[in-house]
């Protein structure tokens, strides 16, 4: 699994002009699932994101996690995170998981993240054409890959 994690002062996702998920201060997580992913990938990623210390503490240092600042999370599925552009300029998405597999792993990830953060997770609609709006705070943007675990 791959995730782009952005620290935001606000974010929202819309489908067909209707807002389906929105948060104020917190994290926007764009989540890509590939066919080689399993539940363990989501568990590892959820744990890392829940404990990520990228918010300012009382001294203004990036040392606080989501719980310490009372932040929220918005998760949006994004198969394009597994794009391959090795041959030519048109990306291939062959590594991205098929919806039958990806839907289950996405829902398990969201549930695991809700458990680890002890908060309701806002989401987009899996597989829908979504429009995402955000104000990146910092900007702070982190990339995580459950296969490399860096």
How confident is the model at residue 80, as a pLDDT? Answer: 84
Query: Cα separations (Å) of 6 from 16, 43, 91, 94, 135?
Result: 24, 19, 24, 26, 9
How confident is the model at residue 34, as a pLDDT? Answer: 94
How confident is the model at residue 92, as a pLDDT? Answer: 83
Averaged pLDDT for residues 78-96: 84
Mind telling me the catalytic residues? Answer: 78-80
Tokens 């489908």: give the residue.
Answer: 15
**DSSP bridge partners of 28:** 6, 74
Relative to beta strand 72-77, strand 26-32 is parallel
How confident is the model at residue 65, as a pLDDT? Answer: 95
CB atoms within 10 A of CB 21: 22
How confident is the model at residue 54, as a pLDDT? Answer: 96
Averaged pLDDT for residues 73-78: 96
């Amino acid at each position: 699994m791959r995730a782009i994690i952005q620290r935001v002062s606000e974010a929202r996702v819309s489908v067909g002009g209707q807002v389906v998920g929105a948060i104020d201060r917190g994290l926007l997580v764009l989540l890509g699932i590939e066919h080689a992913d399993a539940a363990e990938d989501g568990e590892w990623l959820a744990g890392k994101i829940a404990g990520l210390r990228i918010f300012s503490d009382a001294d203004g240092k990036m040392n606080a996690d989501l719980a310490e600042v009372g932040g929220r999370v918005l998760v949006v599925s994004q198969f394009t995170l597994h794009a391959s552009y090795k041959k030519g300029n048109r990306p291939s998405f062959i590594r991205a998981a098929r919806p039958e597999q990806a839907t289950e792993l996405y829902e398990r990830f969201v549930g695991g993240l809700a458990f680890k953060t002890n908060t309701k997770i806002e989401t987009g609609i899996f597989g829908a054409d979504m429009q995402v709006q955000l104000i990146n705070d910092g900007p702070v943007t982190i990339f995580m890959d459950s296969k490399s675990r860096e």
